[in-house]
């Protein structure tokens, strides 16, 4: 469809012809389709614990292959409560088995291990599972309380890809007691 404007209109509205011509041509659409992005070398960055933690005293708890809570999941409240209880109890049992002492200050890193075919994912989506895990550490008397003075941070990291039915999670508890720097 061609637009016709008079010389008087063109003089009155500078740039009108260019805007009408741009509106007449369809915009160039990207060839990318949602969910079908090209693989990128920076799309998945695996966490290196030795580089970040160094030689600080730490404990690693590998949660069993169980269903985790996801922040994007809008399931029924009873299902969320059941999953929260199972994560909390599993972490409490694992912490007691490893005999983790009571810590005055600590940082918790939760490492989310995606499935083999996962290209890009957001480990922060599993924060509800991490919260349940920190509550489980409190149940096991690793922390007196899980307030900000005791637990200095609960940080997500991407772990190695693994096989299995569910996305898995590990907790790394880093002691930041009196003599260490945060």
Contacting residues for 27 by C-beta, under 8 A, at least 6 apart: none
**Confidence band of 177 (pLDDT split at 50, 70, 90):** confident
pLDDT of the residue at 171? 94
Q: How many CB atoms lie within 10 A of CB 95?
A: 23
pLDDT digits (tens, 9 = 90+) for 63-120: 988 889 989 888 899 999 999 999 999 999 999 999 999 999 999 999 998 888 777 7
User: Given CA atoms 98, 158, 156, 105 in this order, what sign does their dihedral have?
Assistant: positive
Predicted local distance difference test score (pLDDT) of residue 101: 95
Q: Residue 66: what pLDDT?
A: 83
pLDDT in tens, 146-166: 899 999 999 999 888 888 778
Average pLDDT over residues 38-51: 63
- The pLDDT mean for the chain works out to 82
Q: What is the pLDDT of residue 166?
A: 81
This prediction's pTM: 0.70
For 15, the enclosing helix (H) or strand (E) is none
CB 106 within 8 A of CB 173: yes
Quote the CA–CA distance of 66 and 64 in Å, as a whole number. Answer: 6
Instruction: Return the pLDDT at 51.
Output: 78
Flag whether pLDDT at 44 surpasses 90: no
């Amino acid at each position: 469809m061609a637009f016709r404007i008079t010389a008087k209109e063109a003089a009155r509205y500078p740039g009108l012809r260019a805007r009408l011509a741009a509106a007449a041509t369809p915009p160039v659409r990207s060839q990318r389709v949602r969910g079908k992005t090209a693989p990128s070398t920076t799309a998945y960055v695996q966490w290196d614990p030795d580089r970040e933690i160094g030689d600080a005293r730490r404990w690693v708890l590998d949660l069993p292959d169980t269903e985790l809570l996801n922040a994007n999941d809008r399931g029924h409240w009873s299902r969320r409560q059941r999953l929260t209880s199972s994560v909390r109890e599993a972490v409490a049992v694992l912490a007691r088995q490893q005999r983790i002492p009571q810590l005055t200050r600590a940082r918790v890193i939760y490492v989310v291990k995606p499935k083999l075919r996962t290209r890009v994912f957001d480990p922060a989506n599993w924060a509800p599972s991490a919260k349940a895990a920190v509550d489980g550490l409190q149940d096991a008397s690793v922390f007196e309380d899980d307030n900000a003075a005791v637990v200095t941070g609960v940080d997500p990291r991407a772990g190695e890809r693994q096989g299995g039915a569910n996305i898995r999670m590990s907790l790394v508890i880093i002691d930041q007691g009196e003599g260490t720097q945060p």
